[in-house]
Structure 1
Amino acid sequence: MTDTLSFDEIKAKQQKVWSSGDYGKIAWITVPLADTLVEAADIRPGARVLDVATGTGHVALAAARRFCEVTGIDYVPALVESARRRAEAEALDIDFREADAENLPFDDDSFDYVFSAIGVMFTADHQRAADELVRVARPGGRVAVASWTPTGFIGQLLKTVSRHAAPPPGAMPPTRWGTAETMRELLGDRVSSLNTTTATVAQRFPSAEHFADFFLTHYGPTHAAAGRLDDDGKRAFRDDLIALATTSNRSTDGTLVSDWEYLVVVADKA
């Protein structure tokens, strides 16, 4: 029987996963979600904004372009540095820091808006991460989160990963954040309203095979999982990724066009 790992042990393993591959390339996929999320939250110029698990900074950049005072945090140093370079390229003044979504280095009630796009869903301790999002938002402030759904493409991809390389014992499925029921449970009565909408983002690749190879090379969860497999296991894993992409494909010209579903949650702090 395998002993369940502590959240700190799971977090250490997850940080290694997200530091593997090259998430900077995968992050292209989530660019459209940033504008969707900040618009869903009805962001206002001049607001104090925090982007949690910022990755390469999509939401932070989107908020700064709307003339907000923005801070972005992530626990992967290379991603924080990439976000800083992107902000510098656009001459945007954003405070990017290395920090943990489960232990935000900010006082209570510090921000008007607290965002996370495809970020906090991958924390080890889901409740603690949700608690932190609410804690640092001011009363009447807004928490807005975008997460892949369990039934959508990435939800199915993560299930495929788990079949080939089991997650750490005790790890929570990240796509819990992609259901309205779980979000109501995580945020609880600390928010006065909670609205959810489901959206999709179209993703395009030259072929299903190209998608599989691109994700095996660059996406942390698939890259790390493949590294744990022997040659036969890697071939079977790649075949399953190709099959998943092929099943989702709505293109008829040999390329891959797939709609990836995510949940947008907007809640106001009580």
Structure 2
Amino acid sequence: MTQIDWSLGEYEWTAADLLPAAQELVTAATLRAGERVVDLGSGTGNVALLAAGQGAEVIAIEPAERLRLAAQKTADQRGLSLATREGSAADVPLPDGSVEVLLSNFGLIFAPDAHAAGQELSRVLAPDGRMLFTAWQPGGFLDRLNAAPMRAIRRLTGRSPAAGQFHWHDLDALGGLLTPYGFKVTATQHELPLVVGSPAEYWENRVVQHPAGATFRPLLEQAGVLGEVRSEVIALLEDASPEFSVNYVLIEATR
């Protein structure tokens, strides 16, 4: 899978859309004051800030410095204690068994090597630790929105950006990944409503300005197909406006 540069664009637009899912995730975690919590792929800090607000000792792990700084700025403005560190699912800069709760809101799903991530997350979680994360359910409207840019990129490069991506939503796949580390995996289904101010606004702020869009936009521009992709996405959004929903799963792994 082609790597996304998460420092590009303005992820803040998408982060605002994902806040309700972050709230569901933190609620499901039933955090206790003083627990050591990691928000993996923390972005602008939706989950980390909510967890810190509940009195947890939170570390936000995020590869993009710009997003780490944004999360820290919000924490400081709210008077919350938050530590931020550079890292990824396969490289968590924390000691063995030092994390009681690991959370990730649509972040872990971008890990390029699921098996390396599974090994690393098992390493940092305490023996009785728990892991909760969200993953998109395939086959819905979000897949249709992503299809146009995916097709264009595959046509230009011969490879889809999602090629080889692990099925983080699938319990059987997760069982194969995490059971060897002693985890029992369960899932609940959820729905996230999204409001489209206008198709053009959604395209600009949620597609072009998303780090994935910003990563691949130069390729589409140079090939002269960005306008074609835009037209396809706009047409889909016009049919769905002003609101549509996307389905996701909330995964919990305990041992």
- TM-score, reference length from structure 1: 0.84
1:227 Cα deviation after fit: 2.1
Q: Please give the alpha-carbon distance, in whole angstroms, between the structure 2 residues aligned to 1:240 and 1:169.
A: 18
Q: Please give the alpha-carbon distance, in whole angstroms, between the structure 1 residues aligned to 2:123 and 2:142.
A: 29
Q: Is the aligned partner of 1:87 residue 2:75?
A: yes
Correspondence for 2:246 among 253, 260, 265: 260
Aligned residue pairs total 251
1:158-195 superposed Cα distances (whole Å, 9 cap, x missing partner): 33322111376796455721222322222123244211
- Per the alignment, residue 3 of structure 2 pairs with 14
Q: Which amino acid aligns with 1:261?
A: N
- Per the alignment, residue 129 of structure 1 pairs with 117
- Per the alignment, residue 107 of structure 1 pairs with 95
Q: Please give the alpha-carbon distance, in whole angstroms, between the structure 2 residues aligned to 1:268 and 1:179.
A: 16
Q: Which amino acid aligns with 1:31?
A: L
1:55 Cα deviation after fit: 0.6
Q: Which amino acid aligns with 2:244?
A: S
1:134 Cα deviation after fit: 2.1
Q: Is the aligned partner of 1:46 residue 2:34?
A: yes
1:6-36 superposed Cα distances (whole Å, 9 cap, x missing partner): xxxx6xx6243x2221112221111111110
Q: Please give the alpha-carbon distance, in whole angstroms, between the structure 1 residues aligned to 2:122 and 2:146.
A: 27
Q: Please give the alpha-carbon distance, in whole angstroms, between the structure 1 residues aligned to 2:114 and 2:166.
A: 11
Q: Please give the alpha-carbon distance, in whole angstroms, between the structure 1 residues aligned to 2:144 and 2:229.
A: 13
Correspondence for 2:49 among 61, 72, 76: 61
- Per the alignment, residue 5 of structure 1 pairs with none
Contact kept in structure 2, 1:149 and 1:155, CA below 8 Å: no
Q: Which amino acid aligns with 1:212?
A: W
Q: Find the residue that maps to 2:60 and give its secondary structure.
A: strand
* Range with greater deviation from structure 2 (31-40 or 227-236): 227-236
The 5-angstrom pairing of residues 102-251 of structure 1 reads 102-166=90-154, 172=163, 174=165, 176-230=167-221, 232-247=224-239, 249=240
Contact kept in structure 1, 2:4 and 2:215, CA below 8 Å: no
Deviant stretches of 4+, over 4 Å? 167-175
Q: Please give the alpha-carbon distance, in whole angstroms, between the structure 1 residues aligned to 2:83 and 2:77.
A: 14
Q: Please give the alpha-carbon distance, in whole angstroms, between the structure 2 residues aligned to 1:93 and 1:143.
A: 21
Q: 1:160 to 1:184 in 2, by over 3 A?
A: farther
Contact kept in structure 2, 1:124 and 1:171, CA below 8 Å: no
Unmatched 5+ stretches in structure 2: none
1:119-144 superposed Cα distances (whole Å, 9 cap, x missing partner): 11112112211222222111121010
Identical-residue share of aligned pairs (%)? 27
Unmatched 5+ stretches in structure 1: 1-9, 250-254
Q: What CA RMSD, in Å, does the superposition of the two structures yield over aligned residues? A: 2.2
1:39 Cα deviation after fit: 1.5
Q: Please give the alpha-carbon distance, in whole angstroms, between the structure 2 residues aligned to 1:175 and 1:244.
A: 27
- Per the alignment, residue 33 of structure 1 pairs with 21
Q: Please give the alpha-carbon distance, in whole angstroms, between the structure 1 residues aligned to 2:141 and 2:166.
A: 11
Contact kept in structure 2, 1:147 and 1:175, CA below 8 Å: no
Q: Which amino acid aligns with 2:231?
A: D
Q: Is the aligned partner of 1:98 residue 2:103?
A: no
Q: Please give the alpha-carbon distance, in whole angstroms, between the structure 1 residues aligned to 2:186 and 2:45.
A: 24
Contact kept in structure 2, 1:155 and 1:175, CA below 8 Å: no
Contact kept in structure 1, 2:13 and 2:206, CA below 8 Å: no
Q: Which amino acid aligns with 2:27?
A: E
Q: Find the residue that maps to 1:229 and give its secondary structure.
A: helix
Q: Find the residue that maps to 2:225 and give its secondary structure.
A: helix
